[in-house]
Amino acid sequence: MQLTPLIAIHMSAALGALVLGPVAIWARKGATQRPRLHRAFGYGFATLMLAAAISSFFIRDYGLPNVQGFTPIHLLIPVTLLGLFNGFHALYRGDLARHRKGMVSLYLSACVTAGAFTLLPGRYLGNLVWGQWLGLF
């Protein structure tokens, strides 16, 4: 697998969401809340997650166990889209606790967990990272 423009877009969106997510969460925690910062970083996070989910649909990997190029990590596409919908739906309804829980869960499942799976040996980025550092691949 090569670093194509599609993979670069997906990787950029995912890394951006990985960075913006904690800032959006932090801006609404604690005694000093920063609603403008939360909203700006939250919309940025949501936009980047949407871009990552949509772009990942078109990335196929035939080197791993798959169904027509879709590997188990592709199951995070509907999880991400549903998480975004539920988060904004809860916000629309004024259910801030459900919004907070849903968006934190989305960050942990779609950014942290997917990121960990992406860095496994045998995956494209995993081979790049571990192969470069360890000279194994």
Give per-residue pLDDT as tens, 36-65: 999 999 999 999 999 999 998 898 877 777
The model carries a pTM of: 0.85
Establish if 84 belongs to a structural domain.
Answer: yes
Q: Angle at which helices 76-93 and 96-106 pack, to 10 degrees? A: 160
In a domain, 15, yes or no: yes
Q: What's residue 47's pLDDT?
A: 98
* Sequence-distant (≥ 6) Cβ neighbours of residue 101 within 8 angstroms: none
- Other Cβ atoms less than 10 A from the Cβ of 93: the count is 10
Query: Are residues 107 and 66 in contact, defined by beta-carbon separation less than 8 angstroms?
Result: no
Domain count of the chain? Answer: 1
> In this structure, are residues 125 and 11 in contact, taking their beta carbons and an 8 Å threshold?
yes
The answer to whether position 128 is within a domain reads yes
**pLDDT per residue as tens digits for the range 78-125:** 999 999 999 999 999 999 999 999 999 999 999 998 888 888 877 777
Domain of 109? 5-61+71-134
